[in-house]
Structure 1
């Protein structure tokens, strides 16, 4: 059986191994993330992709990580107006004030989730299998800048929702094994 011709897997299959899309697909997309800071980082990237191409975000992902304190939730949650001004003037990231404010707000929201559930990861796992409408509703109750596409891609890219890899993709079984190991599903 062949790959779905409209899938990300089909798009990257003939790209060189060192292409940003190929490296992301083969090592990150649909694979579980180790901790809450990594999940927060992925949420920042997905939010910043809105209205832009994913390659733009991939080219800037190291800059995002540096600008947002290695995605340390507690540090970003404490960002003030000076930090916001610094981020708005940082040409290495997407300088959208609403997206920057959302990242800071979302860090604070994750802190609240952590205090109640122990971790952001555990909170996500506690939600079980839901359709995307339920996930979007849940995210909108807690976070900013989380519409249907952002929530769907965040969940798929971090391994909480199926669909990142075609079953025929060379990464499918590896991603599924890691999801089972890290997320217990």
Structure 2
């Protein structure tokens, strides 16, 4: 689960504002709140869509998610909308371009991993596989009960550990069990919205589990 953002409001502003609804995280930052309410935990399918999520989760490694979220549109521009075929064709000039781009996280290992992952995805597809199918095959069955508090939310699971192992065998990088589990949470493969969070019911309904 992403960490809560630090509220931007001053005490006076916070006192004047209407109380916000309960959220698992993100209250106090409009962008983060919107991400929690409208995206996190909602089902995501499709190889390009999952490739983007895997890439951003890798860039988030060691940082807070809000750091990446605030740069997401710049990431999309820099990486050709995370089109796997376009990214797989990147060469040394593209790596240099990306490392010079202040709008993204400039980390050579993560940039090169994203390119390698695009190539791994194309190889997976050529062999008749699908990144989306791999992620959704990792959905736990039976699904665990809704967490009551953040302390009940794991950092990794047997399913994320197995999926990370499978992805690494397929040539993917920066896909450790914790990073993979964050992707599973973000894409609705698991629903870790807390039981009393209003967004949980919406996520369950979209996944057909309500």
Shorter-chain TM band: 0.7 to 0.9
1:104 pairs with 2:115 = yes
Residue 204 of structure 2 corresponds to which residue in structure 1?
176
TM-score after normalising by structure 2: 0.74
Give the number of equivalent residue pairs: 173
Unaligned runs of 5+ in 1: 1-5
State the distance in 1 between where 2:120 and 2:78 align. Answer: 19
Q: 1:180/1:119 Cα in 2 relative to 1: closer, same or farther (>3 Å)?
A: farther
1:57 pairs with 2:68 = yes
Asked which structure has the greater RCO (Cα within 8 Å, sep 6+), the reply is 1
Residue 184 of structure 2 corresponds to which residue in structure 1?
155
Q: Alpha-carbon deviation of 1:169?
A: 1.1
Q: Is the 8 A contact 2:139 2:190 kept in 1?
A: no
Q: 1:148/1:50 Cα in 2 relative to 1: closer, same or farther (>3 Å)?
A: same
- What is the root-mean-square deviation of aligned Cα atoms in Å? 2.3
Counterpart selection for 1:81 from 89, 92, 95: 92
Q: Is the 8 A contact 2:191 2:203 kept in 1?
A: no
Unaligned runs of 5+ in 2: 6-22, 141-157
Residue 154 of structure 2 corresponds to which residue in structure 1?
none
State the distance in 1 between where 2:134 and 2:70 align. Answer: 30
1:15 pairs with 2:28 = yes
Q: Is the 8 A contact 2:88 2:115 kept in 1?
A: yes
Residue 124 of structure 1 corresponds to which residue in structure 2?
135
The C-alpha deviation readout for 1:129-160, integer Å capped at 9, x for no partner, is: 35232122222222101122211101111111
TM-score after normalising by structure 1: 0.83
Residue 83 of structure 2 corresponds to which residue in structure 1?
72
1:115 pairs with 2:126 = yes
Match of 1:180, SS state, is: coil
Match of 1:161, SS state, is: coil
Counterpart selection for 2:43 from 17, 32, 40: 32
Match of 1:175, SS state, is: helix
Q: Alpha-carbon deviation of 1:127?
A: 4.5
The C-alpha deviation readout for 1:39-89, integer Å capped at 9, x for no partner, is: 111111110111111111111010001101001111111111111111111
Q: Is the 8 A contact 2:164 2:175 kept in 1?
A: yes
